[in-house]
């Protein structure tokens, strides 16, 4: 796969998984974990958590895609 396409795919995957992580974290009841769940600090924590989780998920899927392409080349 050309590096331009791989780079573009990585960016798209990162954005999609960060968005999905943000959406998923909205279901977590942070009021039971945090002192001030409606504060700016709590929202910033949600943003940071969604970035970290989304980035790791996109990295996993990017790695998986790369490994799949490599394995496909082994048998051809």
Q: What is the pLDDT of residue 52?
A: 97
13-70 pLDDT per residue, tens = 999 999 999 999 999 888 888 888 888 999 999 999 999 999 999 999 999 988 888 8
Go through 32-60 and write b for each residue having 16 or more CB atoms within 10 A of its CB, e for each that does not: eeeeeeeeeebeebbeebbeebbeebbee
Model confidence at 75, pLDDT cuts 50, 70, 90, reads confident
Q: What is the pLDDT of residue 73?
A: 79
pTM of the model: 0.82
């Amino acid at each position: 796969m050309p590096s331009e396409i791989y780079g573009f795919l990585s960016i798209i995957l990162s954005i999609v998984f960060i968005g999905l992580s943000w959406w998923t974290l909205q279901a977590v009841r942070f009021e039971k974990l945090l002192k001030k769940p409606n504060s700016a600090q709590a929202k910033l924590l949600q943003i940071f958590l969604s970035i970290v989780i989304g980035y790791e998920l996109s990295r996993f899927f990017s790695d998986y895609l790369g490994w799949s392409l490599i394995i496909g080349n082994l048998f051809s």
